Chains A and B, each alone.
Chain A
Amino acid sequence: MVSINHYLVLATFMFLCGTLGVLFRRNLLLVLMSIELMLNSVNLVFVSGSRLLGNLDGQVMVFFIITVAACEAGVGLAMVIALFRRYGTVDTNFLRILRG
């Protein structure tokens, strides 16, 4: 029997993976993928919650998140390409425009 806890543990694991990916990967493309992973972990929590509570609110939320994630991926990738064209690299160690 797979209980709700299994899903939550998996989601937590996925979220941690995503977070660590955002924090430690130097390639912007991989950073973006890690963010996707974090979003998907949240989706998993919503879906399982929806199943547990027996209503569709969670499912609806997931659709929203998928849509937003798609947009975010589009904009993000476009920015990555723009950055690559401008600076010739997508390595975050070199992209430090915000330095004070």
Chain B
Amino acid sequence: MLFWLILFFPLLGAFLNGLVLRKVSPTVSHILGTSALIAAFVCALLTYLQFLAGGGQAQVITGMEWIEAGTFKAPFNFILDRLSGLMLLIITGIGSLIHIYAGGYMHEEKATYRFFSYLNLFVFMMLLLVLGDNLLVMFIGWEGVGLCSYLLIGYWYEDDKNAAAGMKAFLVNRIGDIGFLLGIFLTFKYFHTVSFSELKQMILSAGAQLNGEQIEAIGWITLALFVGACGKSAQMPLYVWLPDAMAGPTPVSALIHAATMVTAGIYMMTRLNFLFYLAPTTQMIVASVGAVTALFAATIALVQYDIKKVLAYSTVSQLGYMVLGCGVGAYSAGVFHLFTHACFKALLFLGAGSVIVAMHHKQDMREMGGLRKYMPVTHLVMLIGVLAIIGFPGLSGFFSKDEILWRAWTGGDQYHIQWGLGALAAVCTSFYMVRLLMLTFYGKNRSDHHTQEHLHETSVVMWGPLVVLAILSAAVGYLNVPHIIHIPGLTNLLFEHYLDPVISIPPQVAEHWHHLHAEYPQSLEWAIMAVSVAGMAISSLLAISMYSNGFGRIANSLGSAFKGAHRVLTNKYYVDEFYDSYIVTPLRDMSQFLWKVVDVLIIDGIVNGVGQAFMLIGGLSSFRMSGSLHRHGMVMVVGIICMLTVLFF
């Protein structure tokens, strides 16, 4: 019962706000939307506690039948296990905080019923995504969150740019969704089920000897599903929608485009880890794509001026880490980073949102600076957020990111390059995040007089959630302290083993993985950690020295020294331009050709040509028709006489 309420409340909120209470004040919409989510959070928490108290065994909750045709079956079944339980808490918990915050952020709007309706609907869809027990229910959520993201990016639809960004997000996601669909088709074709629990049982049960065809199919299935994950989790080459998605209101960026929706790909791969384990090629591809994306996005973030764009590319980069984690088989590390990232990235986005509100919706960091004076609380929480993301020892990012890098190094010799890319990306991360902090909060204020006059700390509705998130960002790392660092009382909390019931290595490859998990010397782990920390420290110090007072001499001279590189980075490697001129424009030209030439000229031309040919033949044979009664009569009579003559003589 409690379980169904988790799903029910957000849906109810969306329904009431969206279709019923459209004339109410923004405050009412806000309270309604937020309370729906808080109620869902409470239910989720209770359900989770019950679930843990009950031993933490995965359970399938049967709902109604949905699609049934031929041998295909996809009922509304839900799965509650440690993974989906954790996701439940992240989504509803961080979602609640962001809902509270959104009321403050959107206070200038005249009507926000649409906004909160979409947000609630998003949470509902996200819950479907993580709770679904088969690929199809997951796919409802998968596309549903895409829809909400589309609607929310284009929330201020009167600016055509926002509408375009929303559409881009939806379409790029759809490319991934086709991959996901193909994955479903292949799964059904070779395993005759799309249910996670059945699939898992089928793969893991010792008796099930998969035939060669099925093993090969698993390779394709995982690859197709990974294409889906690339779309949703903004990996190369489908990441292009995420930076544009920042056109939406900032709470949306925090909730959808940082904390929850974009992690769907990682969630899905973790859910299906037993398939990915059986597809080493796919794993290699996953790890490579993740590592490349992490570095690629991080380099772009180095030179961006828009505070939200920096965070957007940072999100892409961090997602790259999680994908890398999945690729090297370190699912629990990936999910752990998902968890910590949800906390600190939501914090960073919301903090940036506070800055943007204070700056009267200016997002260019060149106009900021010195905000520490005006917004002390925001400064403090942002500081914690930045320290967390760059992996400052003791904060959450340090534990989660290093875990992934460590597992990448130990995942086998073939993954050392990926580790290198990841470590390099970590160096970039600390640089651009510290740069962001410096340009925003330190140095002299560079904004114009009018803005400067109105700079002030935000209301408690906004900074309250920030404080909570800051505490979380600082603390959650201790759920998974590496075993080389002994902290008394925390050893049993290891997150690494939390997901053990979910992560199941199929018997066929078990030996390989046990072999890999064999003890490494502690010194190696210390060394890897030292490399990370040193890189972080050096690049942070570099950023501090470059940007401690706006754009210092060093920054400018570096910029002019590497002009070409700087321009390429500022223009994001021209990827959008590349897609535009090599994919969109040719497709458009081809469509134009198909319509104007093939359809109108050729096909319709043939159709009309046939008609005209008959007209022509008719015209040719009718030219003897004078229309004169007498002539027609005469011809007739002569004809009859001729016939009679022939007949009788």
Contacts and interface: CB of A to CB of B under 8 A. Distances in A.
Interface string A63-95: 000000000000000000000000000001101
B629 A92 contact: yes
Given A19-B637, A23-B637, A100 B630 contact: no
A39 interface: no
B627 A96 contact: yes
B628 interface: yes
Contacts of B630: 23-24, 26, 92
Interface string A27-62: 000010000000000000000000000000000000
B634 A23 contact: yes
A100 B627 CA distance: 7
Interface in A4-39: 19, 22-24, 26, 31
A99 B625 contact: yes
Nearest to A24: B630
A100 B624 contact: yes
Contacts of B622: 100
B623 interface: yes
B623 A92 contact: no
Nearest to A22: B633
Given A19-B637, A23-B637, A99 B626 contact: yes
Nearest to B623: A100
B627 A97 contact: yes
Given A19-B637, A23-B633, A23-B637, A96 B628 contact: yes
A31 B627 contact: no
A19 B619 CA distance: 31
Contacts, number: 30
A98 interface: yes
Contact of B628 (A19, A22, A31, A93): A93
Contact of B629 (A19, A31, A100): A31
Contacts of A99: 625-627
A74 B619 CA distance: 35
A93 B413 CA distance: 104
Given A100-B622, A100-B623, A92 B637 contact: no
Interface string B602-635: 0000000000000000010011111111100110
Contacts of A100: 619, 622-627
Nearest to A19: B637
A97 B626 CA distance: 9
Interface residues of A, number: 14
Interface residues of B, number: 13
Nearest to A28: B629
Nearest to A93: B628
Nearest to B634: A23
Contacts of A96: 626-628
A98 B627 contact: yes
Given A22-B633, A23-B633, A23-B634, A92 B624 contact: no
A26 B623 CA distance: 23
A19 B450 CA distance: 107
Interface string B232-269: 00000000000000000000000000000000000000
Contacts of B619: 100
A24 B634 CA distance: 9
A98 B637 contact: no
Nearest to B633: A23
A65 to B, nearest CB: 19
Nearest to B619: A100
Interface string B63-99: 0000000000000000000000000000000000000
A95 B619 CA distance: 21
Contacts of B626: 96, 99-100
A23 B637 CA distance: 9
Contacts of A92: 628-630
Contacts of A93: 628
A9 B479 CA distance: 127
Nearest to B628: A96
Nearest to B640: A19
A89 to B, nearest CB: 13
A12 to B, nearest CB: 13
Contacts of A24: 630
A19 B634 CA distance: 9
Nearest to B631: A23
A32 B11 CA distance: 84
A98 B630 CA distance: 12
Interface in B401-449: none
Contacts of B625: 98-100
B415 to A, nearest CB: 85
Contacts of B629: 31, 92, 95
A98 B631 CA distance: 12
Contacts of B623: 100
Nearest to A23: B633
Nearest to A25: B630
A92 B629 CA distance: 7
Contacts of A31: 629
B630 to A, nearest CB: 6
A91 to B, nearest CB: 10
Nearest to A92: B629
A10 to B, nearest CB: 20
Q: Which of B626, B630, B634, B637 is packed against the most chain A CB atoms within 10 Å? A: B630
A100 B625 CA distance: 5
Contacts of A23: 630, 633-634, 637
A93 B626 CA distance: 11
B648 to A, nearest CB: 15
B632 to A, nearest CB: 8
Contacts of A98: 625, 627
B617 to A, nearest CB: 12
Nearest to A96: B627
Closest 8 pairs (CB-CB, A-B): A100-B622, A99-B627, A100-B625, A96-B627, A98-B627, A92-B629, A23-B633, A23-B634
24 contacts: A19-B637, A22-B633, A23-B630, A23-B633, A23-B634, A31-B629, A92-B629, A92-B630, A93-B628, A95-B629, A96-B626, A96-B627, A96-B628, A97-B627, A98-B625, A98-B627, A99-B625, A99-B626, A100-B619, A100-B622, A100-B623, A100-B624, A100-B625, A100-B627
Interface of A: 19, 22-24, 26, 31, 92-93, 95-100
Given A22-B633, A23-B630, A100-B626, 12 more contacts: A23-B633, A23-B637, A31-B629, A92-B629, A92-B630, A95-B629, A96-B627, A96-B628, A99-B627, A100-B619, A100-B625, A100-B627
